[in-house]
Structure 1
Amino acid sequence: MRSTRTSAAPRRGRRDRLVAAAGLAAALALTATACGGSGEDRAADKPGATASRSGDGADAGLAIPSDLADRLKDHGIDVDEWKKGGWQDWDKDKWLSAAKDFVNPVIEGLWKPERMQSAEAADKTISTKDASADAGVSDPEPAPVEAAAERTPYHDNAAPVGKIFFDSPEGHMVCSGTVIKDVNNPGRSNLVWTAGHCVHAGAGGGWYRNIVFVPAYNDLGKSEAELGGAAPAEIAPYGNWWADWASTSNGWIEGGSETGGSGAAHDYAVLHVRPEQGAKSLEETVGAALDVDFSAPAAAEAGKMGAWGYPAAAPYNGLKMFKCVDQPGRLSLSPSLPTMYRIGCTMTGGSSGGGWFRVVDGETKLVSNTSIGPVDNTWLAGPQLGRDARTLYENMSKTYGDR
């Protein structure tokens, strides 16, 4: 989620931006109470696609549909060995890249606290040339906004926000995500919004594995030393939620790369999740979910935006939730690509996929997600969510939402 620094440009006044940020912080509300009512004291600090199905697990219930099992066998994968550790085989010829071949069966107990803490940030970098390719459209580079720690407990202040853990060929990785509402399953959503690069490697790569969402991770914001003796409920207050379906944009699958590539402007994804244990929906369990704003407002007309996430690269360690609030500007990587939003923010890798929020008619809505940023960690950029993103979301909701 990082890039090399772009060429210098005039920066907006820091004092004006801090005043504006305070105004949005007073309006943003991510909890069930704040989204649905007043609660002024809490609101003051809060904040064209393809889809795939995984099976459920049998000793944790592994049960992969026969048609998917046949396709996996075509790739040389023994589905009976997958859950026993076969998922660790990252042979390029067997690394599934077709959306229809996504597989992510529940492996109960895999994501233990120590495994979570060993996960590293899923960084994305872009070149200086790419970042300034359309300087005539891009707004001046924003001044940095220092990320502020979210108040604890997170389940009272930012319940829909959480961490995403997954395995890649490079090891255990982390991103951030947000519980969103499901239009076809009101009050019972199992949908999570994140970045495309948190679920799929992009062009020439494939789907990541063992993807899990943990809402309100490290609920009390404990230090690494304190987490050594923490109860499971303090680390994962709502449990672990495995992605059994995943959707990301064709733009990311075809153009995404280690440097963001042309896929950066389409770097978004939706997960359908199921609990490792339990029967209630994610929204019922967490008690909160946010609507997604697909109007893709122009940056100058969007008002202030806030980004939430779990930055994991230095100087952060991925254990605590942070937030930034700023007036967005435009970042254009190419005249042929949609313009991205850009805000000042010092969050680092690990915050990738974390939601960006704005207030629309008094309601907090997700409007983007963290995708890329500079190597000196002074700003973040996220995709505009327009017609293609809406189609991805609606297909996910209609086809998989009630499963």
Structure 2
Amino acid sequence: MAASGLVAATPAQASAADDPGVVSRSAVIDVPGAEGGTAAQKEQALLDYWTPERVRRATGEKKAGPKAPAVKGTDPRIAAAVDGPYSTAVGKLVFQHANGKLDHCSATAVDSDSEILVLTAAHCLHEGPGGTWTKNVVFIPARHDGNEPFGRFPAWNVATSSLWSSGSKPDWEHDYGMVITNDNAKGQTVVDAAGGYQIVPDARTGEEVSIMGYSGPPYSGERQEFCQDLIEPTVPPLNMWQVECSNMTPGSSGSPWLLDYNYDTGTGYIGGLNSVSDTQGFMASPRFDAKTGEFVALVEQIAAARP
């Protein structure tokens, strides 16, 4: 492992590590026209609020970023529109902080029984201990330079591990969260529309991961950037995985780490996600394990209550 490996964050103490619990809340819609409306009217107000200009402003970019070279294996459903590896299940997650600031992360549809789960970094949904939840959350899979081939999926509920939201400081080793989505305008679930990946534990040192995410400046945040590298352990005391991906800039948080990624079919498994990075181009992911699986199962139970 490189001596300059990522040590940018100090994890919370592991004393609560036996608790795989979930902290969740109904997604907050706080936009003009939503107050006093029905659930359908509030959702429409939210979708109207996220104009193409606001979605771009959430990235904070001033100009289009570098364009990736063409690489064999782009998903055939959108191959004519993009260059390089591109996943339909990966999307741009737009939201606002409690203070009104527009922001975005990356997220991935999860192939689960409910077909309505979207995985992202916990810090995209909640600031951590003592912090607030984000609001006006919408997932836009496969967004590319303003095109939205599968529509938009507003959040119904948002959830993080209790290990992230409790304690005295952010626990980057459990920086994962879920958005339980409502359907798109066609009545499709997110997995039905865009596909999804299963989450698997136990990634290994030396295993290759493929990462796609909506990196912000100097990138545009309007297309998926791609990186491929071999997993290494982070420098102690941080007990995470790391890769060297200098094009995964802010905005790529939540991007999936895909194991066994197949360029021809676009298939693979989620073995991690972009969490915290340093100034040397290293990006770290929580180590997905049995507790991660328990977290996903608990969120599935919450999803089962969605109308």
TM-score band by shorter chain is: 0.7 to 0.9
CA distance in 2, matches of 1:326, 1:190: 29
CA distance in 2, matches of 1:283, 1:60: 30
CA distance in 2, matches of 1:321, 1:368: 17
2:259 is the counterpart of 1:358? yes
CA distance in 2, matches of 1:343, 1:54: 34
Q: Which residue of 1 aligns with 2:82?
A: none
1:304 maps to amino acid: E
The secondary structure found in structure 1 opposite 2:49 is: coil
For the 8 Å contact 2:28–2:136, the answer to whether it is kept is: no
1:289 maps to amino acid: G
Deviations 1:35-86 (A, max 9, x none): xxxxxxxxxxxxx1324342798x9997xxxxxxxxxxxxxxxx74999xxx
CA distance in 1, matches of 2:296, 2:243: 25
Count of residues in Structure 1 that have an aligned counterpart in Structure 2: 269
Residue from 200, 205, 221 that aligns with 1:293: 200
CA-CA distance at 1:155 after TM superposition: 3.7
> Does the C-alpha gap of structure 1 residues 342 and 148 become closer, same or farther in structure 2, counting only changes over 3 Å?
farther
1:371-390 paired onto structure 2 within 5 Å: 371-376=275-280, 378-390=281-293
CA distance in 1, matches of 2:186, 2:222: 25
Query: Following superposition, which runs of at least 4 residues in structure 1 exceed 3 angstroms of deviation?
Result: 59-62, 79-83, 103-106, 146-157, 360-363
Q: Which residue of 2 aligns with 1:267?
A: 175
TM-score normalized with structure 1 length: 0.59
> Does the C-alpha gap of structure 1 residues 207 and 374 become closer, same or farther in structure 2, counting only changes over 3 Å?
same
For the 8 Å contact 1:248–1:270, the answer to whether it is kept is: yes
TM-score normalized with structure 2 length: 0.76
Tell me which protein shows more helix as a share of its residues.
Answer: 1
CA-CA distance at 1:284 after TM superposition: 1.3
For the 8 Å contact 2:23–2:161, the answer to whether it is kept is: no
2:55 maps to amino acid: M
> Does the C-alpha gap of structure 1 residues 56 and 266 become closer, same or farther in structure 2, counting only changes over 3 Å?
closer
2:300 is the counterpart of 1:400? no
Deviations 1:204-262 (A, max 9, x none): 111100011000112xxx4xxxx5xxxxxx2x221111111111111211258xxxx54
2:3 is the counterpart of 1:9? yes
Q: Any unmatched runs of 5+ in structure 1?
A: 1-7, 12-47, 63-78, 84-102, 122-145, 228-233
Q: Which residue of 2 aligns with 1:115?
A: 54
Deviations 1:145-193 (A, max 9, x none): x9956767774441111000000126100100111111x34xxx11111
CA distance in 1, matches of 2:270, 2:137: 22
Q: Which residue of 2 aligns with 1:202?
A: 128
1:54 maps to amino acid: S
For the 8 Å contact 1:293–1:366, the answer to whether it is kept is: yes
Q: Any unmatched runs of 5+ in structure 2?
A: 6-19, 61-65, 80-85
RMSD, aligned CA: 3.5
Q: Which residue of 2 aligns with 1:49?
A: 21
CA-CA distance at 1:371 after TM superposition: 0.5
2:235 is the counterpart of 1:329? no
> Does the C-alpha gap of structure 1 residues 106 and 190 become closer, same or farther in structure 2, counting only changes over 3 Å?
farther
User: Considering only CA atoms, is the larger Rg found in Structure 1 or Structure 2?
Assistant: 1
For the 8 Å contact 1:51–1:245, the answer to whether it is kept is: no
CA-CA distance at 1:325 after TM superposition: 0.7
